[in-house]
Structure 1
Amino acid sequence: MNLDARTVPDPRTAGPDRPARRRLIALLLALAAAAAGVLGLVTADHGLDRRSAVVAGVPVEVVRPARTTGRLPGVVVAHGLSASRQLMRGFADTLARRGYAVELVDLAGHGADTERLPGMGEGPAAEARLGHDLDAAVGHLRALPWVDPGRIGLLGHSMGAAAVLRYAAAHPDVRATVAISQGSMTLPGSASRPHDLLLLAGGLEFPGYPDGAVAALRAAYPGGRAGVTYGDPRAGTARRAVVVGGVEHVSVLFAPRTHREVASWFDAAFDRPAMRGGVGLSPVRRAASAMLLHLAAVLSFGAIASALLGRVPAPGRERRRVPLPVALGVPAAAVVVAVPAMAALPRGLLPLAVAGPLAGYLGVTGAVILLALRITGRTGGRTPRLTERPADEAPRLTERVEGRVRRLAGRTAGRNPRRRATIVAAVVLVVWTVLSFAVPAQLGWAHAVPVGPRGWALIPITACAALFFRGVEALCAGYGRRAATAIHAWTTGGALAGLCLAVFLGAAPPFVLLVAPLLAALLVWQGVQAAALRAVRAPAWLTAVVGGVLLAWPIAVTMPIG
């Protein structure tokens, strides 16, 4: 019995579709992560009372135990540069459950505060602005009827740490101060200015931060060592420096040891019972729940894209690959061009600190990649299959052409529905991308709603980021899944490395190094989404737009207004 070879099942393709199976597994994992994330956020405020207000133009949020009597000691919490009160909510969770009234504040240019922050937080004008915001927050907290006005403390991180140190040194009625990662700054030599000072830094931070904590301790106690408490908290002369191992500039805020040190310090300064037991999951519950929702969004993206776009039929013409040496060399050349271009861009191009040069860097990198591919003729376009046919195929050529004409007519008839479906899919995927970042971030770790000039600044930042990702897709065109993923990682990783190099060359401010981990996480997120869109053969412009929005939104909502 003769069998047509075309009817014999290929064992490699028999059974369930592998991509569909992978999408199903990812979707199930996404549902599990989403359920855990929602549960964590729903229970995060259990036992707490949370109220928001705007005081003298400063947005604040007051957190206290839900059921309490008597007057509570109060702590004002200030965030760092490019952060917001959402990032500091872990301290409110920890301290409020221990019987404190905690006021979180959005400093000028950050979060919901649309006031301009001069000089990226440095200089006399910035210090005056930050001092004004702290004064408004302290005055508001002290005036609340259930707060003891004689027991007020301050806590700050990075820029906020420097601000609370200056404020506490000038206001002796502040009973205790905690400075986390304040860096290098000159403090008074007196142990009582400011009163009862705890200095914290992460062991993985740049050396200036742990060195700055120890130097601030030694300003009052020469020869002081980290991990040792000096002075008397009852006299207001206590000082202590602690280097928290295994954490960097942001994760130091969520380390259990950081929270234990903070709670113990305020308890001692306010003559309260010492803390018993560990901090538990309070420092990370809210942020970790938000991260689980982010993960759920990443895992479910492929299934959503497949449902919206399906698997587009194989094109009638093959994709022409960019030669691998070109795919690897062009991004490096683009970064070499983009770094000096970034230095030449005016810093005030956009009303957000760093955002203008950063967007320009991405846009120039993408434009150089596309221009280089066009100049070399390696655009990743389509190569017709009906060229250079052997002479003995001439009789079959006419039949194939006629068949393709019929198929082309069919595709033309359905072109508008396909185009409309792609546009609808693009809108849905953009909205999903925005919501999957903004909602968990707003609830867990960052202000994510554009306010003031952030709204219109989002447009040019998105355009530049989309241009960058369009260049990346041009390099990946025609390659298989693994090779395209490798090229994507090479290009985006090289761009991030070039951005860090720009800092060392003076073309970008050092602050870029602090936000580099966020940018790296966003680039990985975008890489996963880009791979999912390539799997369903989505057009390159759609991948670029979705990626542009994903990268631009966090930049627009977190960079300080300046």
Structure 2
Amino acid sequence: METVEDVRPRAAERPALPPLRVVALLLALVCAVIGVVGLATADRGIERHSAVVAGVPLEVARPARTTGRLPGVVVAHGLAASRQLMRGFADTLARRGYAVELVDLAGHGASTDRLPDAGDGPAADARLDRDLDVAVGHLRAMPWVDAARIGLLGHSMGAAAVLRYAAVHPAIRATVSISQGPTWAGPAVRPRNLLLLAGGLEFTGFRDGALGALRAAYPQARTGVTYGDPRAGTARRAVIVPDVEHVSVLFSPRTHREVATWFDGSLGGSSAGAPHEAAVRPVWRAGSAMLLHLAAVLSFGAIAAAVLRRPPAPDRERRRAPLPLVLGVPVGAVLTAVPVMAVVPRGLLPLAVAAPVGGFFGVIGVLLLATALLAGRTDVTHDGDGRSWTATAAATVVLVALTVVSFAVPAQLGWAHAVPVGVRAWALLPITACAAAFFGGIEALCRGYDRRGAIMIHAWIAGGALAGLGVAVLVGAASSFVLLVAPLLAGLLIWQGVQAAALRAVRAPAWLTAVVGGVLLAWPIAVTMPIA
């Protein structure tokens, strides 16, 4: 008996998610849950109060449900940082019975005031001294703080500031200086009870600065040994914290144990009777935020595929630039951008370091785009075949918003001020334009190559740009501070590389990738570089 094959059209089946994407989504979910729980519990046992006093944003943390008068510590951050980066010290010390005041110094974080001379020079020193004076006065005036037991802690620029302040204010009972840099040239007997810390992986000047400040009082002193008497105010100690650099030294358990022990011996925090936790958890808050960042990276591909939907394959093969051109032109672009970086006026934007760094990426991007056009790649803005401009524009808004939120919210809660204030809001626009040009140039040269080839080209250009920043510092075209923020830039370039690969997988337009990446790179630069 003859059978007739059923040829009726079947409903279109939704394609299954690739196994790798499923794994990424599951990992993203795990990271997000752990990150949210971590941030939600980071303040357990701590009360926080925020205020703006004489234009200085302040945040005070103290043990919850405490009684009696507590010793106090004012904590000052470094250049291009904020009080968020120093919250780990507030967590550690508040749980040991201290009232801890975090300060956003001029030009940083929530402060809309300018920092003179980008933090270098007498005018900047005077402004930082004034901000510390406001913070110390505010902490002393609180009824539950023992005004006779006040200490200071600072990192990098903030370390130099607290050293200077404590040297002329003998009422400060103890000072902790982390990575203050050059050798301390103040009096040997001031500040009182001084602890000096530096990371073992920091530049030599930071390690020498800690030892030099110790030997100003005790010429034959060695690191890791305590000299003097804390009761007389003559105690000195220098410690080189192993296996950490300029930023990670702030999150080392060794750093936090040294700090807590020093203030306990000088101010008597743990004897104040306030409830506290014995465990030191310096990475709890920042680590939770980093897990949320990782969740955003891992889930971006699935979200991009959902809002863009992969269009049909194009009828024609995409042309690609010759490989020697793709590999050689970025080198020339980086070498061209280095001298341009040197001549970009520092006052072009009211943000220290941001103008030359933004200009550096912008010049590279313009040269890459020009190369692609001259090589006959005139279609660099049209590779989203089959999509309407309306749908693509809507998807762009969604992905830009997602990128901003996935960086800004965890950062603000965990490790960096991430809300543009004052002049930062408009300075964000030109920096975004420069960053978008950079990523647009990369996409123009990647077009026509397969997935693996495009990833390698992207990595080549991004890595070359980072190397170019190092060259700019070596030849004096850029501030050495650029090297300290290089890990942040590297992390952002890797994050954007993952996003770009995901967008190429769904054949997103090159301009969409450029805009999303431009916002991701520009946002941290605009909100962290000090207003100068």
TM over 0.5: yes
Query: Which residue number in structure 2 is paired with residue 198 of structure 1?
Result: 195
Q: Deviations over 1:201-252 (max 9, x none)?
A: 0000001001100000000100111001000011000000000000000000
Provide the secondary structure at the position in 1 that maps to 2:500: helix
Query: Which residue number in structure 1 is paired with residue 8 of structure 2?
Result: none
The Cα shift of 1:34 comes to: 0.3
Q: Which residues in structure 2 correspond to 1:92-241 (within 5 Å)? A: 92-191=90-189, 193-241=190-238
CA distance in 2, matches of 1:416, 1:350: 40
Structure 1 residues 435, 273: closer, same or farther in 2, change over 3 A?
Answer: closer
Structure 1 residues 467, 272: closer, same or farther in 2, change over 3 A?
Answer: closer
The Cα shift of 1:113 comes to: 0.4
Alpha-carbon contact 1:461-1:552 (below 8 Å) kept: yes
CA distance in 2, matches of 1:180, 1:278: 24
Root-mean-square deviation (CA), in Å? Answer: 2.1
CA distance in 1, matches of 2:305, 2:177: 49
CA distance in 1, matches of 2:376, 2:238: 60
Query: Which residue number in structure 2 is paired with residue 71 of structure 1?
Result: 69
Q: Deviations over 1:253-302 (max 9, x none)?
A: 00000000000000000245589x99645211000000000000001100
The Cα shift of 1:16 comes to: 11
CA distance in 1, matches of 2:235, 2:64: 31
The Cα shift of 1:189 comes to: 3.9
Which of the residues 40, 43, 60 maps onto 1:42? 40
Query: Which residue number in structure 2 is paired with residue 256 of structure 1?
Result: 253
The Cα shift of 1:482 comes to: 1.0
The Cα shift of 1:147 comes to: 0.1
Alpha-carbon contact 1:320-1:382 (below 8 Å) kept: no
Matched residue type, 2:178? I
Q: Which residues in structure 2 correspond to 1:437-476 (within 5 Å)? A: 437-476=407-446
Q: Deviations over 1:509-557 (max 9, x none)?
A: 1110110000000000000000000000000000000000000000000
Q: Deviations over 1:362-417 (max 9, x none)?
A: 1110111111232343567699xxxxxxxxxxxxxxxxxxxxxxxxxxxxxx9997
Query: Which residue number in structure 1 is paired with residue 505 of structure 2?
Result: 535
Alpha-carbon contact 2:184-2:209 (below 8 Å) kept: no
Query: Which residue number in structure 2 is paired with residue 389 of structure 1?
Result: none
CA distance in 2, matches of 1:171, 1:239: 17
The Cα shift of 1:175 comes to: 0.2
CA distance in 2, matches of 1:172, 1:553: 41
CA distance in 2, matches of 1:17, 1:184: 61
Structure 1 residues 520, 274: closer, same or farther in 2, change over 3 A?
Answer: farther
CA distance in 2, matches of 1:363, 1:117: 26
Query: Which residue number in structure 2 is paired with residue 328 of structure 1?
Result: 327
The Cα shift of 1:67 comes to: 1.2
Q: Is 1:520 paired with 2:490?
A: yes
Alpha-carbon contact 1:214-1:225 (below 8 Å) kept: yes
The Cα shift of 1:27 comes to: 1.1
Query: Which residue number in structure 2 is paired with residue 395 of structure 1?
Result: none
Query: Which residue number in structure 2 is paired with residue 388 of structure 1?
Result: none
Alpha-carbon contact 1:380-1:477 (below 8 Å) kept: no
The Cα shift of 1:344 comes to: 1.3
Provide the secondary structure at the position in 1 that maps to 2:299: helix
CA distance in 2, matches of 1:188, 1:456: 41
Q: Which residues in structure 2 correspond to 1:221-370 (within 5 Å)? A: 221-271=218-268, 280=279, 282-370=281-369
Provide the secondary structure at the position in 1 that maps to 2:88: helix
CA distance in 1, matches of 2:469, 2:378: 25
Structure 1 residues 318, 245: closer, same or farther in 2, change over 3 A?
Answer: same
The TM-score normalised by the length of structure 2 is 0.94
Provide the secondary structure at the position in 2 that maps to 1:234: coil
Query: Which residue number in structure 2 is paired with residue 29 of structure 1?
Result: 27
Structure 1 residues 379, 340: closer, same or farther in 2, change over 3 A?
Answer: farther
The Cα shift of 1:186 comes to: 3.1
CA distance in 1, matches of 2:381, 2:390: 23
CA distance in 2, matches of 1:436, 1:236: 47
Provide the secondary structure at the position in 2 that maps to 1:346: coil
Query: Which residue number in structure 1 is paired with residue 453 of structure 2?
Result: 483
CA distance in 2, matches of 1:511, 1:23: 38
CA distance in 1, matches of 2:270, 2:32: 38
Alpha-carbon contact 2:115-2:530 (below 8 Å) kept: yes
Alpha-carbon contact 2:352-2:530 (below 8 Å) kept: yes
CA distance in 2, matches of 1:319, 1:382: 12
Alpha-carbon contact 1:259-1:279 (below 8 Å) kept: no
Q: Is 1:57 paired with 2:55?
A: yes
Provide the secondary structure at the position in 1 that maps to 2:65: coil
The Cα shift of 1:187 comes to: 3.0
CA distance in 1, matches of 2:377, 2:222: 61
Moved more, 330-339 or 95-104: 330-339
CA distance in 2, matches of 1:375, 1:81: 42
The TM-score normalised by the length of structure 1 is 0.89
The Cα shift of 1:21 comes to: 2.3
Matched residue type, 1:61? E
Provide the secondary structure at the position in 1 that maps to 2:283: helix
Provide the secondary structure at the position in 1 that maps to 2:48: strand
List gaps (5 residues or longer) in structure 2: 1-12
The Cα shift of 1:418 comes to: 2.1
Structure 1 residues 70, 381: closer, same or farther in 2, change over 3 A?
Answer: closer
The Cα shift of 1:197 comes to: 0.1
Q: Deviations over 1:144-187 (max 9, x none)?
A: 00000000000000000000000000000000000000000433
The Cα shift of 1:326 comes to: 1.1
Structure 1 residues 272, 552: closer, same or farther in 2, change over 3 A?
Answer: closer
CA distance in 1, matches of 2:243, 2:316: 53
Q: Which residues in structure 2 correspond to 1:367-516 (within 5 Å)? A: 367-377=366-376, 418-516=388-486
Structure 1 residues 272, 535: closer, same or farther in 2, change over 3 A?
Answer: closer
Provide the secondary structure at the position in 2 that maps to 1:487: helix
CA distance in 2, matches of 1:19, 1:489: 26
Query: Which residue number in structure 2 is paired with residue 551 of structure 1?
Result: 521
Larger Rg: 1
CA distance in 1, matches of 2:385, 2:469: 41
Provide the secondary structure at the position in 2 that maps to 1:240: strand
Matched residue type, 2:343? A
Alpha-carbon contact 2:404-2:520 (below 8 Å) kept: yes
Matched residue type, 1:244? V
Query: Which residue number in structure 1 is paired with residue 4 of structure 2?
Result: none
CA distance in 1, matches of 2:381, 2:199: 52
Provide the secondary structure at the position in 1 that maps to 2:47: strand
CA distance in 2, matches of 1:265, 1:311: 59
